[in-house]
Structure formats: C-alpha cells, structure tokens
Amino acid sequence: MANIYDDDLLCSECFLKLMHTRISSQFLPDEDHSDYLVEQFQDIQEVCQTTIVAEVMTRALPNYPVVLTATPKFGLGPGTVEEPEPEPLTCEADQVIISVMGTSSNDSFQACNDIARFTNVATGNLIVLTGNEACYVEEEEICAPRGCQLHRVGAGQTCESIGKSASNDTNPINGAQLATWDPNILGTCDHLVEGQYICISRPGGSWVSPPSDSIPDDSEGPIRGGPGSTPTLEIVDHPTTPIDPWLMQEGIAEGCTRYVIASKGANCWKVANDAAIEQSRLFELNPILGSSGEYCDTMVWKDYYYCVGVNGEGSPTASVTTAVPSSTRVPTSTTTSGIAKPTNVQAGQPADCNKWFEAGDGAGCWAIYTDAGIEASQFYKWNPVLGTAGENCGTQIWPQYFYCIGTSSSSTPAPTTTTGSGSGPAKPTATQTGLAANCNKFVQAGDGDGCWKLANDAGIDLSLFYKWNPVMGSGGENCGTQIWPEYYYCISVSA
C-alpha cells in the first residue's frame, strides 16, 4: 500500500487517522485482510516517520477446542471423558454481556428488532455482532455495546429529524451525535431503513446536570462550577515556537497570536469564557466551529489549539467569571421610559423590551419561558436568534446573556389551571395533546422516565397508558421522544 500512493497523501493527517480508526475499530472483521491492514499501517508509519500511540489489536488467537483426556476407570472398560469447565465470557471495557432470547417471529428483520428492544442495543449493532439479519447465534450470551435509549425509525425520518424530535432544552441532539452513537446504522442518515431501532442517547448513559436550584452557593471548598472545580484551560500568548499544524483545525484565522488548548470535555463556551472573549468572536477566529457554533459539539478536540486573539488585539484585561451564573430576572419598571437595557443581549430583540431573563450555565429555552410564564411562541418571537420554532435553542442560549421575556406593548398572562369535570382533581397545565377527557389521575414524569416505568409504577397495562396518552402512539412507538420531564400523563379515567 505504501507504494501505491504519493507520500503527500499517504502521510496526510486525514489518511493516517482514517486508517487508524479502521484498524482500531472493535468491529474489525476476523479475517486475514485485517492482519494485512495492520501490517500496512505499521509500514506507512515508518515511511512517514510518525507514530500514532494507540492500542491496535490484531485478531485474537483461534479458539481451538480443548483436548479431551481419557482417564481409565479401574483399568476396566473404555476410558471415561471428563468434560472441561466452560470458560466464563469476558468482554471489552466498553461492552457488556447480553442474553440473546429466542423469538417467535418468522420475519428475520423483525426477529432482530425484538432482540434489540429486549436488550436496548441498536438493530444495526446486533446484525454486525451476529453476522446475520435475524441476529441468530448459537451461544446464549454474547458481548455487545452498552445499552441506550432506543427509537424506532419511522417512514421518511432522517438523523437530523430524529435528533430534533428527541432534543430538549438541556440535551440538544444533532445528526452528527446520532451517527456517532450508531456506527452500524442501517442505511444512510438521509435514507434510514424504516423500522430499525437506533440509539438516541450515548450507549452506557451520559452525565446529567443536577437542577440549578440544587447547586450550592460559592463557599470555601471547591463546588460544581465554583473556583477550583473546573481548571482554567491553558492559554498560550505569542508562542515562541511554531505550533504543530496537526494540532490546529482548518481555516484558523491568519495572524493569530493567542491560543487556548482544549482539554477533555471542553466546549465552545468554556474556551471563550477562559479566554475572556465573546463566543461570536471565537466562531469568527475558528470557522470550523460554525458561524453560530453549530459544530461546537463535534469540533472541539482535546489537546488542539483554538485561536482567541490575533495580532493587534492584545490580551483581554476583563476578568473571567468562574462561578456558576445565576438564572435571575432583571428587576422591571412600570415607568414609560422603561429600564436600562443589558449589554449582553442577542441580536433582534424588540426595541420596547422591558423585561429580561439572565441565562445561567445549562439553561435552555424551555426553562426560561416556563419560569417567565410566557408561551414558547412569544419567547421565540421576542428572541428571533432562537429560530421561529426554537430550532437554535441548543446553540444560542449563552450563560450570562439576557433574553427578552416581556415588552411594554404586551402583558404576561397569569398561568391558568383547568379543572376536571365533576369532583375530579384539577387538570395540570403541563400536559401533552390528546389526553383522555375523563382523566382523573395524573403522574408527573421525571428525568429519564419512560412509558414502561410510568405504567408499571401506576399498576396499569401499557395498552391503557397508550390509549389515554395517544401522543405515545398506539404501540408506544413515540415513547422515546414524547416523555418530557415535569409533564403530566394520564394513568386513570373515570367511568
């Protein structure tokens, strides 16, 4: 392979990383060609005089059967054979052991889907692991990726549309994330195979931020978001030696003299905050992040350098706030002249805005307009940078920025409560559409709840839960996207 391509292509960062990703994949097929690829990659590194330090594993040794030993019994008759003890199954660190159940379905694809739903493993992953569309294996247990929250692909759905429907204010999901969580997705992101189950959460689970009201104030010890809890990123001013181009993204601003080195888990807000610059300026200096930061989730890489200042700008002298910003409203005034407009605001807010909300770390659209007691459509109208339907909520809610929640030409309606008929309880306002009209008992969903848990805790069949909450679908096909935290769902009706 080293003789086929020119050294410029062979030694490029793209080619080396692409080939390394392929040979280090846990799904590398158990074939002689895989050994060949590993050997070729080692030859290429010698030609390019570079070394990518990572764990590269060739195929494991063949699992030859254990030789059975015949032991004579008192010297008479044929020897007896002792069966060897079966060795326990061991999996990689990012895998778990799952039991593959049988299925009564005659359709091979549906049989694999049944196993996917039972094990919480995506259909495409199971097909790759088992090597067949029916996901049939002779072993009772196999190693598989860790479980995730599943979504069954509907007609015409794409990675982007599924990500948008599964997103919420605290956990925005885009197509790139889905592709990362589903490396063996059936079809392409624009033309998905209908009916398959895919992951809409990180396999193995993700860290979920605690509610903002449970975060303590800053004190002497390190706390979440307080001094000492999150180390400040390393800043390099006027580097004396050239920076390795392999540690810089494409399109970085010319004449850059100030850099931030991203650490594990860093994001755009962290980079801009530690450098004491606006996020919009960070996007201008690093166009790979997108003009509005739409690629922040996928393009902030550990140990890479990001430009935060060019020649002539100098080092900012403004202090950096490290404590968690509080989400509090600015005091309002009833005078005709209005109040002073905050400086940290997004573009496009109405001129007569007289009431603002300061976003805290982790705040989202839903939390802001709910706390303000206004409709989502009104919030998006007053803050057009968020999009007409809130499609930009995942990237345009910035900590310590103010968002309009009231104008002098409008009045904020008081929240209303609709009571049920007869002597039943008051109907909650945070409910989905289509709720049974005679519902007399509700349950409030918590973070991470699902249809099965809500129905099981209430002691009712899932079929009734779907009937009384039709937004879930007749067979619960929308459970992965329609269970919203702090919303109420019907679990009982009156006769």
pLDDT in tens, 270-282: 898 888 888 888 9
Q: What angle, rounded to 10 degrees, do the helices at 123-130 and 108-119 form? A: 110
What SS3 string covers 82-137? Answer: CCCCCCCCCCCCCEEEEECCCCCCCCHHHHHHHHHHHHCCCHHHHHHHHCCCCCCC
Position 191: which residue type? H
pLDDT in tens, 148-180: 888 999 988 888 889 888 887 667 788 888 888
CA distance 369 to 376: 6
Locate 21 and state its tokens. Answer: 């990703």
CA distance 408 to 284: 35
Neighbours of 143 (CB within 10 A): 16
Locate 104 and state its tokens. Answer: 């009564």
Rg (CA), the chain: 28
Pick one of 3.20.20.450, 3.10.20.90, 3.30.465.10, 3.10.350.10 as the CATH number of 439-493: 3.10.350.10
The structure tokens 């996007």 sit at: 283
Q: What angle, rounded to 10 degrees, do the helices at 32-48 and 13-23 form? A: 150
Residue 163, H or E segment: helix 159-166
Burial 248-287 (b: 16+ CB within 10 A, else e): bbeebeeebbbbbbbbeebebbbbbbbbbbebeebbebbe
404 half-sphere exposure, CB direction, 13 A CA radius: 28
Neighbours of 480 (CB within 10 A): 22
Question: Which CA distances in Å does 495 have to 422, 457, 492?
Answer: 12, 22, 10
Beta bridge partners of 98: 142
Q: What is residue 339's predicted lDDT score, i.e. its pLDDT?
A: 55
Q: Give the long-range contacts of residues 205-209, CB within 8 A, separation 24 or more.
A: 205/146, 205/148, 206/171, 208/170, 208/171, 208/447, 208/448, 209/170, 209/362
CA distance 446 to 454: 10
Q: What is residue 338's predicted lDDT score, i.e. its pLDDT?
A: 45
Weakly modelled stretches of the chain, pLDDT under 50: 53-55, 61-62, 70-77, 209-229, 314-338, 412-423
* Single pTM value for the model: 0.32
Position 87: which residue type? E
55 Cβ contact partners less than 8 Å away, ≥ 6 residues apart: 24
Per-position DSSP letters for 60-76, written without gaps between them: PPP-PPPPP-EEEETTE
pLDDT in tens, 222-236: 444 444 446 789 999
CA distance 292 to 289: 8
Position 41: which residue type? F
Cβ-contact 327, 225 below 8 angstroms = no
Pick one of 3.40.30, 1.20.58, 3.40.50, 3.10.350 as the CATH number of 353-407: 3.10.350
